[in-house]
Amino acid sequence: MTLAELENAKAASLAEIAAAQDAAGVESLRVKYVGRNGSIPALIKAMKDVPKEERPAFGKAVQSWRAEVEAALAAKGGGAGSSEKRVDADLTLPGMWRSLGVKHPLTRVMEESAAIFSRLGFTVADGPELEDRFHNFTALNTPAHHPSQDRSDTFWFGDDCLLRTQTSPVQIRVMEQSAPPVRVICPGRTYRRDTTDATHSANFHQIEGLYVDTKPVSLADLKSVLAYFAKEMMGDGVTVRFRPHFFPFTEPSVEVDFTCHVCKGKGCNVCKQSGWIEVAGAGMVDPRVFGFVDSRRKDGAYDPAKVSGYAFGFGVERIAMIKYGIPDIRWLYENDMRFLSQLG
Ligand code: PHE
């Protein structure tokens, strides 16, 4: 190509760009002239064939063609890589906002409980959700004919493997591993073959507590610890009352109520006018439970004649529902951000 031909080609290309109708047209001209296989890069590649003395002038002309083509493309809203790179940025717009997220109410109750009990010297213990019969039932003094062992109440996998129906088996595992004194809580998931409705779910959460010592432990110790927990978790004016009950692994056994935190005991719709809300089961560890632990440890550390203790088990959903005024347990599992984000 001579210099004159080059000038003609340049004029033609600029006219073509000026006449382009739309972005697609501009883009195809960009590809045609300055794209990787376009005519200007081809000319640059072919420079080596231009006689030496003409090369500087020719090179200059090619560069100025390229610059003018790019300027013309840019003026048309195109240009090198324009299809990927162009942004219609208004730099005065506010940035993208992402919420930090909030903790799930069940997580909050479990973490807050661990913090409250840790102020009283309790540590957090953990145990498997897939349990065996010994830890979930036998060592908790629950005989084979007890209804909770029934196939219709418990998720069984064969004869000796089940989804734990309560966090109480962690009591046994803790005592198997550590000599007294032990002072632990265990927040965790539990499973029962319940049909789901507003107050039942086949899997739910409990917080187990266990204190065992070689010093005498009394029901008054249990009550004072639970009263402290009630006040810290639900606020001033909330305390506990015990009602006699039965659990195979505690004797005596009690059901634990919190003062209704809404009416502070006066009676309202939330507590069905009673002034109290049931939240936990508890009691003094049955000596037979220590006997089962002793039969495994064989070191006498839990000799029923030498140790005493208390245990309790809270329903986490129950506490979350009363604390945050949640009317339906299913809301806790549906993962609906319209609900969850309100509790942040
Ligand atoms: N495990 C019992 C339940 O699920 C609660 C409980 C725990 C009762 C510890 C007494 C002591 O109902």
Question: Tell me: the pLDDT tens digits for 72-104?
Answer: 888 888 655 544 455 667 788 888 888 788 899
From atom 10 of ligand 1, which residue's Cα is the shortest distance away? 282
Ligand 1 atom with the smallest distance to the CA of 310 is 11
Q: Report the C-alpha gap between 17 and 215 in whole angstroms.
A: 95
Cα–Cα distance, 281 to 256 (Å, whole number): 6
The answer to whether residue 163 is domain-embedded is yes
**Full-model pTM:** 0.73
Q: Give the SS3 label for residue 286.
A: coil
> For residue 42, what are its two tokens?
């081809």
Q: At 22, is the pLDDT very low, low, confident or very high (cuts 50, 70, 90)? A: confident
- Report how far residue 47's alpha carbon sits from residue 62's, in angstroms, rounded to the nearest whole number: 10
In a domain, 258, yes or no: yes
Q: What is the CATH classification number for the domain harbouring 258?
A: 3.30.930.10
Strands 182-191 and 123-124: parallel
In a domain, 34, yes or no: yes
Q: Tell whether 29 and 177 lie within a shared domain.
A: no
Q: What does the pLDDT look like over 114-134, one tens digit per residue? A: 999 999 999 999 999 999 999
Same domain, 254 and 328: yes
Q: Which residue's alpha carbon is at the smallest distance from atom 7 of ligand 1?
A: 313
Query: Which residue among 140, 142, 153, 247 is best mutated to probe the pocket of ligand 1, counting the most ligand atoms within 8 A of its Cβ?
Result: 247
Q: How remote is the CA of residue 4 from the centroid of ligand 1, in Å? A: 98
- 315 CA closest ligand 1 atom index: 4
If one residue of 142, 146, 166, 245 were mutated to test the ligand 1 pocket, choosing by the most ligand atoms within 8 A of its CB, it would be: 166
Mean pLDDT in residue range 189-209 = 95
Pair 140, 273 in one domain: yes
On whether both 69 and 177 belong to a single domain, the answer is no
Are residues 68 and 154 both part of a single domain? no
Residue ranges around ligand 1 (CB below 6 Å)? 166, 168, 247, 250, 281-283, 311-313
CB 282, CB 313: distance < 8 Å: yes
Please tell me the predicted confidence (pLDDT) of residue 315.
96
Contact assessment for residue 292 and residue 141, using Cβ atoms and an 8 Å cutoff: yes
Is pLDDT above 80 for 67?
yes
What pLDDT is recorded for position 168? 98
Q: Rounded to an integer, what distance in angstroms lies between the CA atom of residue 343 and that of residue 337?
A: 10
Ligand 1 centroid vs 281 CA: distance in angstroms? 5
100 located within any domain: no
Residues 264, 148 share a domain:
yes
The range of the structural domain enclosing residue 307 comes to 105-343
Q: Measured between alpha carbons, how far is 70 from 49 in angstroms, rounded to an integer?
A: 25
